[in-house]
Structure 1
Amino acid sequence: MFLDVLYGVLPLFFVMLIGYAASYAPTFPPSVEPALNVFVFYVALPALLYKVVAQADASGGVPSEFFIAVIGATLLFSLLCWIVFRYLMRQDRPRSLAGMLTTSFGNVSYLGIPVILGVMGPQAGLAAGMGQLIHNVIFMVGFPILAQIMLPAAGGKGHKPSAARMLRTIRNALIYSPVTWSMLIGGAVLIFSLPVPKPLNDTVDLLAGAAAPGALFVIGMSLRRTIDRSFRRSPTPSSSGEGVVKQAPRGSAAALSVMVLGKLVALPLLTVVCLNLLAPQLPAIWFNAAVLMAAMPTSATAYIMAQNDTGDGEPTAMAIVITCMLSVIALPVLSALVLR
């Protein structure tokens, strides 16, 4: 199993490395990454999700135990992270919330779906789609709302909680998301056996084929920017008027270690425990998809959310880089130990 998964994920990380190397080439200026990201998120990835859902084998249905176990494990782990950062490590509220997000929210869309399809094949597409949807709903909807409630003035932005702001968060993350609509349309085609003209299917196939390499290439390009953030320190004025390097907060190394080990080890293992307790008869495809989704390295989106909602994204940027690099080995090791 170790070699099977290693050989399955290595090509994906090689594409990421190519994207990282391309970010240094003059033919790939910084403006290329946002354009590619828009194409992947609004066109290629929705095409892939529509395809895997519309063509899935739904004879066994979507196990409710899958949702219960994944949601339960993710929420429980997030709560434990908050307790660790806030009360054991004595971090302030913004850093504790950012730490919780960083340790819990993985790159389930751009990396999780390609990894699961690469390791288990297209028959795991429905499980991969449902898994990424659960994680994205929890964090893309739940975290901004939680930040509005707990940090009314984070980063000086004035996060006053209100029903209107919360509804806008839900609308932007769900109703306006092409990922949501692509899965809904694919589900309708699957459930009602709707006929789809061959030219349209062939077009979707072409676009879906660009999703995995496009997403991985974008991750690679963004990695350079994330690394730059990780090692950059904001200057603070000294008494002489000259800028000095801002020192990392006390305990930041320990906090970073918790983020990395929590994301790559603790969350997937807790997910295994919850699956065995709450869904012992879950088919292997759904079990493996849930564990692999939990084991994804920290999402690049987590940096943006931590910076915008808590005013503190530097530790998240470092965790993204480290978890991404270590996941090349962590994923195969985890797979050999716990996957069915």
Structure 2
Amino acid sequence: MFLDVLYGVLPLFFVMLIGYGASHAPKFPASVEPALNVFVFYVALPALLYKVVARADISEGVPLAFLWISIVSALLFALLSWLAFRYLLRANRARALAGMLTTSFGNVSYLGIPIILGVMGTEAGFAAGMGQLVHNIIFMVGFPILAQILLPNGKGGQHPASAARIARTIRNALACSPVTWAMVIGGTVAILGVPVPRPVDDTVDLISAAAAPGALFVIGMSLKRTIDRSRARKHAPVAPDGSAAGGSWARTSIAAMVLGKLVAMPLLTVAMLLVFAPDLDRIWFNAAVLMAAMPVSATAYIMAQNDTGDGEPTAVAIVITCVLSVIALPVLAQLVLK
């Protein structure tokens, strides 16, 4: 299992390395990354999710155990992370929120889906799609709302929470998400048996083929920006509270983020699966574990910076977890995957 997952994961990380290398070339200026990101998120990734859901056997639906364990394990680990940062590491509310997000929110879309498909094949596409949807809803909806409540006048420039702002957050994360609509349309096609003209299917195949390499290439390009930010922060003056990247608090928090994301969160998910759903089908079991084990999401930096004003430790954790996951994922697979 270790070698199977390693061989499945390595090509994906090689594409990321190619993207990182390309980000240093004059032919790939900084403006390329946002354009590629828009294409992947709004075109290629929805096409891939539509394809795997529309062609999946969803006659048995989604196992209830997969849903509730994925939800509860993510929420429970987020709560434990908040308590650890707030009371063990004695972080203020903003830092504790950023630490909670970083430790809990993995790159389930751009990396999780390609890895699950690469390791278990296209038959795991429906499980991968549902797994990323669960994690994205929890953190892309829950975190901004929590930040509005806990940090009404925080560093990120928030305003007090209101019903309108909360409703707008939910709308933007769900109703306005092309990923959500892709899965809804794909599910409708699969359930109702809607005939899809071959030219349409072929077009979807062409576009969806760009999703995995495009997403991984974008991740690689974004690493350069993340590393550059971290280097600049490292040479910045250290504030009295140690907020600069070189401060002792930042080093401790980054270590907690890395160990929490790559080790503690997947192990908590495994423990809950073994206790409450030991007979869960291997595809759904493995999908739940792998989604929990993804390295820190690149989106986590944007959210942490915008909502708490302190995203630099998150940026460093993104780079470290991406690098370490090349080994962490195969080891996890060898130890716990079915």
> Once the 2 structures are TM-superposed, how far is the Cα of residue 254 of structure 1 from its aligned partner?
1.6
- Match for residue 33 of structure 2? 33
Could you give the per-residue CA deviations for residues 293-338 of structure 1, whole angstroms, max 9, x where no partner exists?
Answer: 0000000000000000001000000000000000000000000000
5 Å-filtered alignment, 1:151-170, equals 151-155=151-155, 157-170=157-170
RMSD: 1.5
Contact persistence 1:72–1:274 (CA under 8 A): no
Contact persistence 1:230–1:314 (CA under 8 A): yes
Contact persistence 2:151–2:308 (CA under 8 A): yes
5 Å-filtered alignment, 1:320-339, equals 320-339=318-337
Secondary structure of the structure 2 residue equivalent to 1:154: coil
Could you give the per-residue CA deviations for residues 81-102 of structure 1, whole angstroms, max 9, x where no partner exists?
Answer: 0110001111111000000000
5 Å-filtered alignment, 1:42-57, equals 42-57=42-57
Contact persistence 2:22–2:221 (CA under 8 A): yes
Amino acid at match of 2:195: P
> Once the 2 structures are TM-superposed, how far is the Cα of residue 158 of structure 1 from its aligned partner?
3.5
Identity %: 72
Distance across 2 between alignment mates of 1:189 and 1:6 = 34
> Once the 2 structures are TM-superposed, how far is the Cα of residue 250 of structure 1 from its aligned partner?
3.9
Distance across 2 between alignment mates of 1:110 and 1:173 = 16
- Match for residue 242 of structure 1? none
Could you give the per-residue CA deviations for residues 188-243 of structure 1, whole angstroms, max 9, x where no partner exists?
Answer: 000000000000000000000000000000000001001111222274699xxxxx
5 Å-filtered alignment, 1:102-181, equals 102-155=102-155, 157-181=157-181
The structure 2 residue matched to 1:305, chosen from 299, 303, 310, is 303
Contact persistence 1:16–1:219 (CA under 8 A): yes
Could you give the per-residue CA deviations for residues 266-295 of structure 1, whole angstroms, max 9, x where no partner exists?
Answer: 000000011122222210000000000000
Secondary structure of the structure 2 residue equivalent to 1:70: helix
Of 203-212 and 53-62, more deviation after overlay is shown by: 53-62
Q: Does 1:185 align with 2:185?
A: yes
> Once the 2 structures are TM-superposed, how far is the Cα of residue 251 of structure 1 from its aligned partner?
2.3
* CA gap 1:156/1:84 in 2 versus in 1, 3 angstroms: closer
- Match for residue 284 of structure 1? 282
Amino acid at match of 2:190: L
Secondary structure of the structure 1 residue equivalent to 2:61: coil
Distance across 2 between alignment mates of 1:289 and 1:73 = 14
5 Å-filtered alignment, 1:246-261, equals 246=244, 248-261=246-259
Distance across 1 between alignment mates of 2:133 and 2:105 = 12
* CA gap 1:317/1:156 in 2 versus in 1, 3 angstroms: closer
> Once the 2 structures are TM-superposed, how far is the Cα of residue 60 of structure 1 from its aligned partner?
2.6
Secondary structure of the structure 1 residue equivalent to 2:113: helix
Segments of 5+ residues of structure 1 without an aligned counterpart are: 239-244
Which TM-score applies when normalising by structure 2?
0.96
- Match for residue 101 of structure 2? 101
Which TM-score applies when normalising by structure 1?
0.96
Distance across 2 between alignment mates of 1:247 and 1:173 = 30
Contact persistence 2:158–2:307 (CA under 8 A): no
Contact persistence 2:238–2:244 (CA under 8 A): no
- Match for residue 269 of structure 2? 271
Contact persistence 1:68–1:278 (CA under 8 A): no
Contact persistence 1:70–1:275 (CA under 8 A): no
User: Which stretches of structure 1, 4 residues or longer, exceed 6 Å deviation after superposition?
Assistant: none
Contact persistence 2:156–2:308 (CA under 8 A): no
- Match for residue 220 of structure 1? 220
- Match for residue 85 of structure 2? 85
Amino acid at match of 2:29: P
Amino acid at match of 2:9: V
Distance across 1 between alignment mates of 2:250 and 2:172 = 33
* CA gap 1:311/1:53 in 2 versus in 1, 3 angstroms: same
Of 248-257 and 91-100, more deviation after overlay is shown by: 248-257
Amino acid at match of 2:300: A
Amino acid at match of 1:15: V
Secondary structure of the structure 2 residue equivalent to 1:232: helix
Distance across 1 between alignment mates of 2:238 and 2:175 = 45
> Once the 2 structures are TM-superposed, how far is the Cα of residue 33 of structure 1 from its aligned partner?
0.6
- Match for residue 241 of structure 1? none
Amino acid at match of 1:276: L
